[in-house]
Amino acid sequence: MRETYHEALSKVVDDLVSMTNRVQTAVDGATVALLDADLTAAEKVISEDADLDRLHDDVENRCFVLLARQSPVAGELRTIVAALRMVADLARMGDLAAHIAKIARMRYPKHAVPESIEPNFQRMAVLATEMTEIAGRTLRERNILDAEKMADDDEEMDTLRTMQFTELLGDEWAHGVQAAVDCALLGRYYERIADHAVIMGSRVIYIVTGLHPEGDNWSIA
């Protein structure tokens, strides 16, 4: 019976890693839709978000069953509690990728992001994708060193966000209010994806050490 329990717990972690891979694919697809004005890519990301929601519900339900039937303690309890939170993080990251794709679809066949600010978004997208991949890897390998490094990446993301606002609110912005609103929202979506990736890293640290990392970079407002 205990062996079956451990198999079920391992399956939860494996499915979280699989969800992370799917979120990474969604972020990549949403970026293609946004920067290339690719309607097909946008529709794919939007349609597949429902699959992530179903995975969220399935993993969440299995975690509740493990809590109710197995009375986990110590590291096992930390893993299940962290898994419940991480699956919510991943579902939200998928939603944010879908939001990016929806703005790309709404502005099609035009580009939602003006050319002048495109490099900023390209770097944001790279960071968001890399941080999502690291979140999955740290969970799979229990590598807290990689998890800790994500806080540095998050600082770069915050710097890019500040640069966006400087351009959007500057006198040289010539693309109108609609484009400014779109870019403000899109920047927020990428920033939040990165935030959730960092929080996933903090949850891995909690699983391994039993301690919550401290500092502003480890919390979501």
pLDDT tier for residue 5 given thresholds of 50, 70 and 90: confident
pLDDT tier for residue 221 given thresholds of 50, 70 and 90: very low
To the nearest whole number, what is the mean pLDDT of the chain? 91
Please state, as a whole number, how many other Cβ atoms lie within 10 Å of the Cβ of residue 166. Answer: 10
Mean pLDDT of 146-151: 84
The lowest-confidence range among 18-27, 131-140, 170-179, 208-217 is: 208-217
Residue pLDDT, tens place only, 35-71: 999 999 999 999 999 999 999 999 999 999 998 887 7
Domain count, the chain: 1
- Predicted pLDDT of residue 215: 56
Residue pLDDT, tens place only, 122-144: 999 999 999 999 999 999 998 88
Long-range pairs of 41-50 with CB within 8 A, sequence gap ≥ 24: 41/101, 41/104, 42/101, 42/102, 42/104, 42/105, 42/108, 43/101, 43/105, 45/97, 45/98, 45/100, 45/101, 46/98, 46/101, 46/102, 46/105, 48/22, 49/94, 49/95, 49/97, 49/98
pLDDT tier for residue 148 given thresholds of 50, 70 and 90: confident
Mean pLDDT of 209-220: 64
In the predicted structure, residue 176 carries a pLDDT above the cut 80 = yes
> Domain range spanning residue 145?
2-218
Phi/psi at 172 (nearest 5 deg)?
-85, -5
| CATH label of the domain that carries residue 19 | 1.20.58.220
How far apart, in whole angstroms, are the C-alpha atoms of residue 61 and residue 54? 11
pLDDT tier for residue 3 given thresholds of 50, 70 and 90: low
